[in-house]
Structure 1
Amino acid sequence: MKIYKKGIVVATILSTFSLMAAESKVIQVTTLDDEDGTNPSQCSLREAIRTAYDNKGYGGCNVGNKLNGQKDYIQLKEGVYKLDKGELVPRSHVILYGELPYDQNEKDELTGEYPKQTALKTIIDANFNSRLFNTSQTKANLEINNIELRNGKVISATPQQANGGAFFIGGSVSLYNSAILNSEAGNRGGAIYFAGSDQNISASIYKTRIQSNKAKNGSVWDMECKNKLIPVTSPLSINQSSIVENGDSNSLSMINICGSSSIDISTSTIARNIADSTNGVIIRHFNDANHPLEVGNTLTLSSNTIVENNAAVTYWYDYLGTKILSSNILAFNTGKNCKYTPKQITRTIEESNEDDTPAEEKIALVTLNNAFAADCDIPASSNTETSKNKILAANANMQNYLSNYYPASALNLHLPLYYPKGELVNAGHQACSAVDQRGFERLTVSKLVLDPNSENTCDIGAVELMKLTASDIVDLKNTPYRSLIEYYEQNITELKAMQDNPANKSSLLQIQAELKDFEALLAKTKQYNKYRAIYIDPFALALPKEEETSNGELKLKALNTENYKIEVSAKGVGTLKTEGENPYDTELDPVQRCEWIPELKRIMFYRTDGSLTEVGKTELCEYKITEQNAGTEPKTSAGVLSASFVNIAPVAKTDVYILHPENDLSVTVNPLENDYDDDGENTTTADGTVRPQYYKNRDGSETPIRIESISSGLTMSAERTGLCPDTHLRETCYGGKLTFAAKNNLSQFDYQVTYNYFDADGAMSNTATIQLKNSAKNTNTSSGGGAFGVFGLLSLVGLAAYRSRRIYK
């Protein structure tokens, strides 16, 4: 697995919100009180939602997006918003943003990087007086970000009026990095009741905790199965979330699935939920009169941890629809873990038996790479590869497969979870979700050259463990030196401006840390610069070690020079072998250098003579990352660097010169004076030899300049002439200073020459222009020659975006 850089995520969120704010005016909620048109000096959440629909100010709210049918953005501040006047009923598409749950001045407890993710700072509380949101009639789309929603309740003598404890949804709904807590419905949908229709209406739940909700049916989720007699096809996705501790002994189900909808639950923890011990079901996916299931229904369960639930059955399904289960652990639940029931409409669990699948019955069921309890029913006629599933023994001890349950904390990003153990770790397959519940990418790459036995495959369940692993970094090439320097300089300029901006006070420490890193990179890159050097960050693609905290939770041991040391060894030029103990088919090269520069925090790979890598061969170096401050058994991992040193084309820049009448409209210039070779500024080899910059012809004289075009009114002469390199052998190239003169010395016209030039290895630059300005047509023009300042041109380069800063780092 690979760490998902949280700092970049936060920067992206901030940038996205800034862009959103620039495109449409944000409605700012300024009071925590539940006001409704009574205070023109404050804007409440209820008033903001009405303002969004009316397209005019209400209460003390500013107008948002005035275009009819467009979405409105509503920004809430930190604090608890108590709904004293009943549920909120959006009538137009609104997007609610809570205060960002980050502390920019603290490092995250899990990753050790800025910023620290905190608990949710914005809370909407119905105080058990009503549900929180109702769009069942308005069909308005609702998006919620960074908000905790709690204490919704709807009880009614009429069952249809008692659906949806927190949400009764008729349009699309999206929850991101949020929570639904302690809500209750008297009938269906303790957290959410979804009255969807077609595929244009959807529900998406991402990085959200759903906890302590309850209902008679569907303590977490229940839904309409048909809309105007047509099966509902609206999709639901739940990803990187925790669904825990919902329901009670009177609940009949936790998640109800019906209609022709597609349900995708991935990378989530579903644990410690409760339903009736006789007929209760945690995930209910079968056909009956109250929840008709259609053939077109699809349920996908991928990389979930489904354990310690308490019900008659945890997953109950039948022959209708398609079921795809991969890389889940579904075990250690009280009651039957998974139950299959064939062709029936209504049947209690007591009426079904253990082996009643007709031999001819077909079921669309795919199960791959799961860890199933021994009592799970897997019909023999299904489309499944049972050999790839782990069937746990009936007396299996959960402590051998999973850690203890860890409630919401900073170390799990406030999403309860379990850590895998034993056979669930590196389970030997790569069919798992791309990231785990914490947002860490799962590493599914080929074997390491130096440690083929340490291939890192998927862990089963929602969480992927991390171990110290170097990476084989291939296809490395030297890059333009000045581009790298300019990139560092641009980011330093940007960060200094951010540091001086009072609006960035909350993230000052993070900005200062970034600034310090870039200033060090700039200074040390210049200090240690070598010709055609490759600068490699050994931590960029490596995986950190996870270490156990005092209570058993895990955190990353951040990849830095304080926690790990780097060792390198040049391995010469040649190829890598696929078999044998020695992977190198190389010859050691006395001019090859591979060095770790602690002050630069980079591996520098270069050749002391600056020569190019021979075609068909590879420059090889081995590096090792070893844990520091780790007691008697530090972890270590080694990787291979595979590189080629290539010639970077030189860079030609535009020149501007003046033609003066007193010089007969002639001028002598050196067009190469502001051009440069971008392979690096240090052209001195180890033996003190200075590498030539420019192409030399067969006579040994420098004639690198190739004239591409010249104005018809000009003549040109050069100090040296000769044949161009092989690619332009029939052309004449020039060296030294060039003299241009107007054929008509009374001319008042400007002239233009285009050229390029060749470096010592024959690479040709871009085409540049020599502009000859005629002062005869403007006697007020100041005299003087020389090239136009390159620094003036550099000022035109745009600043790199803050969120892409790490590309070069």
Structure 2
Amino acid sequence: MYRKSLLALVVLAALPVTAATDRTIYVSTFEDEDGENASACSLREAIYAATTNRAYGGCIAGQLDLTEKIKLKAGIYQLKRSLVIGSNMTITGGDAANFDKVDPFTNVYPARSRLETTIQPADGLAFTLFDSTTSRSVLSLNNVILKNGKSNRGGAIRAGGTVNLSRVRISNSSATDVGGAIYLEGSSANLSVTDSLFDQNTASRGAVIGMSCLDNVAWTQHSISLERTSVYGNGSNTTQSIIDYCGTVISTISSSTIANNQARNNIIKYVHSNNYPLHPSSDLNLVSSTLVKNTGIATLLYDNVGFLNINNSVIAYNSGKSCSYALGAAEAAKLEKSQIESSYNALTKPSATNVNVGECELPGHLYKVTGDKDTFVNLMSNTFSQVLAPLYLDDNNQVLESAEGLFPAYLPRRNIGTGETLIDKGSSGCSLTDQRGLTRSNTSTDTDATTCDIGAVEVGKLRAADLLSMSNASLVAPIEQYEDNIKFYENIYNDKSLDSKLVNRYKELIDTEKKALAAFKASRAYRQVYASVLDTSVEEEKYTIKSDKIATELQKFGNDFSKNYKIDKVDVEVIGRGSDQFIQTKDIRDINVKAADSNLICTWDKDLRQILIRRTDNSGILAATTPAGEYEYCKYTIKTINPPIVSSTGYVQARIVNIAPIAKDDQYVVKYGSVTPVTLDVLANDNDDGDGGSDVADYPAGYPKFYQNAGSGSYANIKLVTKPTLGTLKFEYEQPCPDNSNTRPEETCYGGKMTYTPKSSFSTFNDSFIYKVLDQDRAESNEATVKIINTATTTDDTRGDSGSSSGSSGSSSGGGSVGLFGLLGLFGLAFMRRKMN
């Protein structure tokens, strides 16, 4: 119901930390110092301190048995020699973030911006930037550029352990042998890359990624993942391959772009050979990726040794073959079964009469038509510019990172003339997000059913979501949550240690929550459903075409909704009441209570940006709910304001239900020495406001807060979970509970006037009991505890001074008898003191 706006990233960035709790090693100089300056902490010194767990140079000591965290300032770090990684560590560059906005694609704050931290050799020097081959430790790098590394193996990184890269650019690095950017050495060397870029890297073999095949005569095992990553402009006319697989490799390339690379032989080599063997259990998955404009004999060279799965990907428009079977096209065409799978890809199908540039040679059985259509898009008759357009490149194709921190990719174009489109041509096997982090549209249940686009980039298409199985919730909880959010944000905002770049963000969050709280309070109605339809709807992406390039902008919901979209009063319709079948067919014949007779109200609240649903047939001691197995249905339509005008329709399926009452703890006082009954009114502070109190719209006049028997008028609405032990309770009403049935034990409920009577006037202890209350719909509340406080346990103690021999009943001075347990305690203390002495 309420927006969950706590942003974990902001909270982590903003909460004040102290030296006692923050053990991050902060690098304070760009110089490559090595212990000679105690007033500054260099990157090399930070790595050494993290490895040895001892302070070094100007760096604090690392932590034993923990992954070390090293934080860099934005700038250029010029190295004199390789950085040797000796323990598990995470190195993070400058923020590379725009703190003035939320990322339009991921909806995460802060938004991404260009990387601003570079690590490279000093002028004239050549070596691997990071080396973990000896320790085989885990190295994680975030928000950095690795540049100009050079070695025989692994120009930027020579890894003996797992390497994790997030928002990392490896550029212009080279190897004379293998692994221009990264070389994975030994079976402990694995690679995970997200939101990154490899460009201008070269090597004799594996210009971007190379790896060892055998380790002590055994197959080396590597796990390699590239997600939302660009491999762009690598290799040369002397490079044998860009990604060179061997050993036992499990690899997935998803939502990624591999483009504009050059190799003498192949861009991706995934074959078995005597020199570079590939184990039969190897597995390569190409998912929702774009492989275009590469130059080589083949973009993907494969055989029938390892498993290969290609789905929802574009692999076309390459010089040479886009896919090539190692044993030749004729042998590929003959294959009736293989270890290769392909589904919903866009490619150029081989011709029976001539060889087409960029054709994809797949096993013959994969090109057989299944069902009533092919499971691929044949691009033979379409030019590149009809199908795709480049994103995030300048006019000279030189700048490979946009101001928003996004790397080269290609956007599917909407139909141009007779050209094929990749939009909505994918299947359920597509990746969850596109290369930019945009959630893919892939649904068959909504009114505007869509499938994902083929390739690395998903085009944002306005889609109004169907919200299923919605119901009204407590009208009390959201108010408490909004107030808690406001207090939480204000505490951080008022903290003087808050980073200045976050001040405006927290001010905005406070204002947003306050407006939402006011809007929610004003909108409340009895048993009202709040449907946040925009949370799962998809925003429209607006194109701006310039030459053969396309600039795009997501037309956002959120605070910009009224600038980009509208949902007018006429755009929200009551459908009526029907079964679950309706949402599957959208057939009005599945509605058994039509709109005119449904007593249903559906409205759009522009301040909350939610669809509100309620019933109006509440009266007397009967309040409306939706019968079991049925639903209330509303329809809504979102329209864009900015041309081109598009619209989309969705449905809300909801049930009006009863919300359980709220019971609160109570406390009463009995006077020591008295057995006079004490009147209890435990329901006075309880309520049924979860449904809505008398101050909300459509509250049914005369509707009782708690259960009342319609025939007798009795109020037996209290269930005792536990009873008091030192006193007795007496009630005006005592009868079987109204929610008893043949399938549950007989319970007794109580109500009306209620008293508690102490069993003994000599009791000096407190008492308690636990109860629940039933509302008119017979729903149980939470458990509440009633405490009976004896004045003998308080400052109002009226007992006589037990130290007096006369047994006076005057007020106690605070002394009183020690008693047996008190004496035992004193003896124990004395014994401990003697032992200590």
TM-score by length of 1: 0.86
How far has the Cα of 1:579 moved from its partner?
A: 4.6
**Aligned with residue 163 of structure 1, among 148, 153, 169:** 153
**How far off is 1:394 after superposition?**
4.0
What residue number does 1:368 align with?
Answer: 343
Q: Which residue of 2 aligns with 1:345?
A: none
Taking a change above 3 Å as real, the CA distance of residues 779 and 97 of structure 1, as seen in their structure-2 partners, is: closer
Shift of 1:656: 0.9
SS at match of 1:497: helix
Aligned CA distance change for structure 1 residues 467 and 148 (closer, same or farther; 3 Å): same
Tell me by how many angstroms 1:37 deviates.
1.1
Decide whether the 8 Å contact of 2:345 with 2:426 is kept in 1: no
Alpha-carbon separation, structure 1, partners of 2:107 and 2:246: 43
The letter of the residue matching 1:570 is V
Which structure is larger by alpha-carbon Rg, 1 or 2? 2
Asked if 1:464 is matched to 2:472, the reply is no
- 1:741 matched to 2:757? The reply is yes
Deviation at 1:33, TM superposition (A): 0.8
SS at match of 2:330: coil
**Pair 1:591 & 2:599 matched:** yes
Counterpart in the other structure of 2:575: 571
Letter paired with 1:397: T
| Separation in structure 2 between the aligned mates of residue 688 and residue 681 of structure 1, nearest angstrom | 10
Once the two structures are superposed, the pairs formed by residues 784-803 of structure 1 within 5 Å of their partners are none
Q: Deviations over 1:539-575 (max 9, x none)?
A: 1111000012464221210012332112322222223
Name the structure 1 match of 2:133.
136
Match of 1:320 among 305, 324, 333: 305
Aligned to 1:582: 588
The Cα offsets for residues 114-154 of structure 1, whole Å up to 9 and x where unpaired, read as 53211112211224622211223332321111111111123
Within the candidate set 701, 705, 718, 1:705 is matched to 718
SS in 2 for 1:424: coil
Q: Within 2, Cα distance between the matches of 1:398 and 1:7?
A: 44
Q: Secondary structure at the match of 2:84?
A: coil
2:535 aligned counterpart, secondary structure: coil
Work out whether residues 663 and 773 of structure 2, in 8 Å CA contact, stay in contact via their aligned partners in 1: yes
Tell me the equivalent position of 1:759: 775
Matched residue SS, 1:247: coil
Residue equivalent to 2:687: 676
Q: Is the 8 A contact 1:143 1:175 kept in 2?
A: yes
Provide the secondary structure at the position in 1 that maps to 2:320: strand
Q: CA–CA distance in 2 between the matches of 1:617 and 1:354?
A: 58
- What does the per-residue CA deviation read over 1:288-341, in whole Å, with 9 as the maximum and x for residues that have no partner? 343222222222111110000111221112222111111111110112222112
Correspondent of 1:309 among 279, 284, 294: 294
Deviations 1:653-677 (A, max 9, x none): 2111100258644311210112121
The answer to whether the 8 Å contact 1:466/1:544 transfers is yes
* 1:300 corresponds to 2:285: yes
Q: Where has structure 1 moved over 6 Å in runs of 4 or more? A: 17-24, 381-387
Counterpart residue type for residue 346 of structure 2: A
Compare 108-117 and 646-655 and name the one that shifted more: 108-117
Which residue of structure 1 lines up, in the alignment, with residue 486 of structure 2?
Answer: 492
How far apart, CA to CA, are the structure 1 residues paired with 2:213 and 2:367?
A: 26
CA distance change for structure 1 residues 326 and 147 in 2, over 3 Å: closer, same or farther? same
Match of 1:212 among 171, 189, 200: 200
Q: Which moved more, 1:132-141 or 1:230-239?
A: 132-141
Gaps of 5+ in 2: 350-358, 394-399, 414-419, 800-837
Distance 1:243 1:583 in 2: 53
Contact map agreement 1:132 1:152 (CA 8 A) in 2? yes
**1:443 Cα shift?**
2.6
> CA separation of 1:409/1:193 partners in 2, compared to 1, >3 Å: closer, same or farther?
closer
Whether the 8 Å CA contact 2:113–2:403 is kept in 1: the answer is: no
What residue number does 1:398 align with? Answer: 384
5 Å-filtered alignment, 1:718-737, equals 718-727=731-740, 731-737=747-753
The question of whether the paired residues in 1 share the 8 Å contact of 2:28 and 2:42 is answered with yes
Shift of 1:220: 0.7
Give the one of 186, 191, 194 matched to 1:196: 186
CA distance, structure 2, for counterparts of residue 306 and residue 10 of structure 1: 33
User: Is 1:242 aligned to residue 240 of structure 2?
Assistant: no
Q: Distance in 2 between matches of 1:96 and 1:47?
A: 13
Q: CA deviation at 1:21?
A: 9.8
2:173–2:181 Cα contact (<8 Å) kept: yes
| Contact kept in structure 2, 1:105 and 1:508, CA below 8 Å | no
> Aligned AA for 2:751?
G
The 5 A counterparts of 1:332-347 are 332-342=317-327
Q: 2:430 aligns with which of 429, 432, 436?
A: 432
Q: For 2:271 and 2:11, locate their aligned partners in 1 and report how far apart those are by CA, in whole Å.
A: 41
Amino acid at match of 2:364: A
* More relative contact order, 1 or 2 (CA 8 Å, 6+ apart): 1
587-596 or 138-147: bigger deviation? 587-596
1:696 equivalent to 2:708? Answer yes
Q: CA deviation at 1:524?
A: 2.0
Find the residue that maps to 2:434 and give its secondary structure. Answer: coil
Is 1:474 the equivalent of 2:468? yes
Q: Read off the aligned partner of 2:563 and give its amino acid letter.
A: E
Q: Which amino acid aligns with 1:192?
A: I
CA shift in 2, pair 1:579/1:734, >3 Å: closer
Residue 602 in structure 1 maps to residue 606 in structure 2: no
1:642 aligns with 2:653: yes
Equivalent-residue separation in structure 2 for 1:168 and 1:385 (angstroms):
46
Q: Specify the alignment match of 1:231 in structure 2.
A: 219
Instruction: State how many pairs are aligned.
Output: 747
Change (3 A) 1:484 1:41: same
Match of 1:78 among 74, 78, 96: 74
Q: AA paired with 1:706?
A: K
Q: Find 2:166's aligned residue among 160, 176, 181.
A: 176
How far apart in 2 are the matches of 1:12 and 1:302? 34
Matched, 1:615 2:628: yes
Alignment-mate amino acid for residue 420 of structure 1: P
Superposed displacement of residue 730, structure 1: 5.5
Deviation digits for residues 574-623 of structure 1 (CA, Å, limit 9, x no counterpart): 23535576365133346322122223332221123241112222111111
The one-letter amino acid of 1:477's match is S
Indicate whether 1:146 and 2:159 are aligned.
Answer: no
Give the 3 Å change call, closer, same or farther, for CA 306–25 of structure 1 in structure 2.
same
Per the alignment, do residues 778 and 355 of structure 1 end up closer, same or farther by CA in structure 2, a change over 3 Å counting?
A: closer
**TM-score computed with the length of structure 2 as normaliser:** 0.84
Correspondence for 2:442: 444
**Distance in 2 separating the partners of 1:596 and 1:54:** 61
Aligned to 2:821: none
Match of 2:222, SS?
coil
Following superposition, the deviation at residue 437 of structure 1 comes to 0.8
| Pair 1:284–1:695, CA change in 2 (3 A) | same
**Structure 1 residue ranges without an equivalent (≥5):** 155-161, 343-352, 784-809
Alpha-carbon distance, 1:679 to partner: 1.6
Distance in 2, matches of 1:361 and 1:582, equals 48
User: 2:529 matched to which residue of 1?
Assistant: 534
Secondary structure at the aligned position of 1:131 is classed as coil
Residue 245 of structure 2 is aligned to residue 257 of structure 1: yes
Distance 1:475 1:228, change over 3 A: same
Distance (whole Å) between structure 1 residues aligned to residue 577 and residue 475 of structure 2: 23
Shift in alpha-carbon separation, 1:9–1:204, aligned structure 2, 3 A: farther
1:179-218, CA deviations, whole angstroms, 9 ceiling, x for partnerless residues?
1011122222111111132xx4311111111111111211
CA distance in 1, matches of 2:83, 2:280: 36
Shift, 1:684, TM fit: 6.5
Secondary structure (helix, strand or coil) at the match of 1:704 reads strand
Task: Tell whether 2:54 aligns with 1:39.
Answer: no
Q: Report the secondary structure of 1:488's partner residue.
A: helix
8 A contact 1:226–1:232 mirrored in 2: yes
Q: Deviations over 1:230-284 (max 9, x none)?
A: 11112111111000011122222111111121222111000001122xxx21111
Counterpart Cα distance in 2 of 1:60 and 1:683: 64
SS in 2 for 1:515: helix
Sort the Cα spacing of 1:726 and 1:163 in 2 relative to 1 into closer, same or farther, 3 A.
closer
